[in-house]
Amino acid sequence: MRRLLLTLPLMFVPLMAAGQTVGINQSNNPAWLQPSPFQAQRPMQGSLLPQSQSSTAAEVQNGDTASLLSLNPLAGGTVSSSVVQYGVTPNVTAQAGVTQRSWATQPRIIGSEVGATYYAGRYSLGVSVAQDQVPSAVPLPRVLPGAVTGVNGLPDFDSSTQVNARGRVALSGDSGLVLGASVGRIRLLPGNVMGLNTLDQKALTFGVDHGPITGSIVGRTMQPEPGVPSNYMDRRWNSIDLGVTWHLPWQGSLSFGAQNLWSSGNAVNTPAGPPEPDQSRTPYVQYHQDL
C-alpha cells in the first residue's frame, strides 16, 4: 500500500509528456493542494491540468489544509509539489500529486496523494488518501540549534498514512472559508527514544482566504496505537498551530505565525533529543522568493 501511493501519480507522466490540451475553468474554488487560492485553476471535463510549485514549510503549514503533517518552520528547506488534475465531470475533478520536502542535508520526505473534489457552485468538498515517508532510515537532521526537522515534533519519523477531507465555502469572488480534517497513523524508526512503533493522529483545521492572504488554525492530537503496551499508553499530545501567509505581487510570500501556540505540555530535551514529541512554542517569520 505504501509503495502503491508513491507509484500512482507516476502513471500520469506519459499523458503529460504527450502534450494533452488543457481546458481551464476559471473558477474561484481553490485548486487541490494549492496554497495560494487566488491563483486557482481546475480542468474542464476530459482535460488534464498539470501544476507544479515550490514553497516553504511555513507556507504549506499555513495554506495546505489537505495534508496536515507539521514540520518545524524554523528548520528551513523547501517543499516542491507536482499535481495532475483530471476533469471527470463538470463538477468532479480527480487529482494525483507528489511532494518532496528538501533541506541542505539529507534525508528528504517524499509524499504522494490521490483523491477527488466535488464542486457545487460556492461549495467544494474533497477527499484524499496520502502517504509520506523518509527514503533513508535515519533520523531527520537538526538544521539549526533547537530546530529539529521532525514531523509533528518527531525527529524519528519514518512514514505516515492518512485520510483527508477538505471543504470550502466561497464568500465572494476571492474570499472563502476552509474546513479540513485528517485521520492517520504515523510510524517511527526502530530504536527511537520513545520506544514506540506507531502513533495515531487526528487533526482539524479552519482556514480563511482573502485574495493573496491565507490563514489557518490547526488543532492536532496524537496518541500511541491502542492495545500496544508501552510507557506512553495513557499519554496524549495535543497542540494548536496558527499561521498566516501573504502572497506578494512579485512572486514572493511572507509567512508568520506560531507552531504549538498552545500545547498539552512541553517535554524536557535530553542530549539525544526530545524524549516525547517536541511541543515547544515556536513563533516564526519567513520570506520566500520564487526566481
Closest CA to 214 of 74, 51, 102, 58: 58
Phi, psi (5° rounding) for residue 47?
A: -115, 150
What domains can be seen in the chain, in order of their start residue?
A: 2-289 (2.40.160)
Closest CA to 232 of 244, 245, 222, 242: 222
Q: What integer pLDDT is reported at residue 81 of this predicted model?
A: 85
| Nearest-angstrom CA–CA distance, 36 and 137 | 33
- pLDDT of 209-259, one tens digit each? 999 999 999 999 999 988 777 777 778 899 999 999 998 999 888 999 998
- pLDDT band at 22; cut points 50, 70, 90: very low
State which amino acid sits at residue 57: A
Strands of the chain (E only): list them: 24-25, 42-43, 48-56, 78-89, 92-102, 109-120, 123-133, 142-144, 147-148, 157-172, 175-188, 198-210, 213-224, 237-247, 252-263, 282-289
Cell of 256: 508568520
- pLDDT band at 41; cut points 50, 70, 90: confident
The pTM for the full model equals: 0.77
| Nearest-angstrom CA–CA distance, 30 and 63 | 11
**Other beta carbons less than 10 A from residue 288's beta carbon:** 20
| Nearest-angstrom CA–CA distance, 57 and 60 | 5
